[in-house]
Amino acid sequence: MKRLVLLPVLLVLLTGCSALVNSSYLHVSPYTEPVKQESEEGYQTAENYLSLKNALLYFVENGQEQGSIRVYDYSGDLASELPEAVREVTEKDPLGVYAVETMEAESSLIVAYQEIRVDIAFRRTPEQIKAIEPSTSMNVLTDRLEKAMADYETEVTARVSYYNSEDVAAIPRNYYRSHPAEVMEMPKVTVNIYPEEGGYVRIIEVLMEYTNTAEQLRQYREAVQTSAHAAQEYVRYRETDTDKLQLLYTYLQERFSYVAIDTATPAYSFLCDGIATSEGAARSLQIICDEMELECYTVEGFRDGKPYVWNIVAVDGIYCHVDLYRLLMEGSEGLLLLKDGAMTGYEWDVTAYPACP
């Protein structure tokens, strides 16, 4: 009889237990190795050399000056591997070499685990660290540097797996040469590599130092483009290229009594201030010819053994040399269009520009 009484009771109890289980919390999934992340208490964890090094790098990536690592069941010799991990992060890892001045790590026993206190002195700001471009190719780095030149940025930092420091340094110079209406000043370019030796992936830091502020250079660019457009409008109704260029020469000649002074902004100084250099005159003529849709090249060469810049222009279908700076400084009454044979004292790479026979 007692058995008959107990059976309903057991059934009720079993039903009650089932009601207490929320089935939405029951699921089956494959086991995956947990990813080490910063705990809610603000510390990292490590159980082997790799996770120890990654914990140190975590602090560096986040610009964290102080941090804590808890070590449970370490698989190696923590006493010897901790200083080795610090050395690898600060002397071999690209980010550590770039960002860290000094790193100190000290381990102490806290009951059931080892606690490592980490103190870092940075040579870079958190903003500089976060601004590092991800691993990229030279083509992508070229695009990034060209954008920086157009915007007058002063610093670009990127991870790259293949590079040539000379090629990197040439990117800003080439962009300056090919965009005279956009880039008003050629900055001083410094390329730093982190680390200098060893490792497949490096961090490249490109510093671009200007004598003018970005806002000033944007204003200069607008003034140059306005001046070039005005010059193009002034000569637009002449029928031949020769007539347009002759009128343009008169227009420029009457604007200023040009003075020869070195300047960091050659095109702006020439078109807006009457300060002339061979580079300023040549870049200005290039800008105006581009406005006129007239084929023109800026030639970088030598005159009497010294660096010098002039133009080659397609005038009514015939290539001619134009040394605008020399004509203006010598007070020539008209524009002279010269052939190769008349360029006594000039030297240039004849393979890089059209011939003027």
User: In this structure, is residue 33 part of a structural domain?
Assistant: no
pLDDT at 19 over 60: no
Catalogue the E-assigned strands of the chain: 44-46, 66-71, 100-110, 113-122, 133-136, 155-160, 188-194, 202-209, 259-260, 275-276, 296-303, 306-315, 318-322, 346-347
In a domain, 238, yes or no: yes
User: Which of 210, 231, 251 marks a domain boundary?
Assistant: 210
Of the given ranges (12-21, 41-50, 326-335), which has the lowest mean pLDDT?
12-21
Number of folded domains that form the chain: 3
- Domain CATH number, residue 306: 3.10.620.30
Selected residue with higher pLDDT from 29 and 163: 163
pLDDT tens readout for residues 123-142: 999 999 999 998 788 899 99
The count of C-alpha atoms lying within 13 angstroms of the C-alpha of 345, restricted to the half-sphere facing its C-beta, is 8
Find tokens 């009454």 and name the residue.
Answer: 333
Residue owning tokens 């520009």: 353
How many Å apart are CA 299 and CA 4, to the nearest integer? 110
Q: Which of 164, 179, 210 is the last residue of a domain?
A: 210
Among 126, 144, 147, 139, CA closest to 205: 144
pLDDT of residue 111: 86
pLDDT the model gives residue 281: 99
**Same domain, residue pair 292 and 260:** yes
Q: Which of 323, 321, 218, 216 is closest to 277 using CA atoms?
A: 323
The whole-number pLDDT of residue 162 equals 78
Instruction: Point out the domain boundary residue: 183, 210, 237.
Output: 210
User: How much is the pTM?
Assistant: 0.83
Mean pLDDT calculated for residue range 222-242: 98
CB neighbour list of residue 116: distance below 8 Å, 6 or more residues apart: 46, 68, 69, 70, 71, 82, 105, 106, 107
Is 25 inside any structural domain? no
Q: What is the pLDDT of residue 41?
A: 57
pLDDT tens track for 183-206: 999 999 999 999 998 878 899 999
Q: The domain containing residue 324 runs over which residues?
A: 215-347
- Which tokens belong to 330? 């010598």
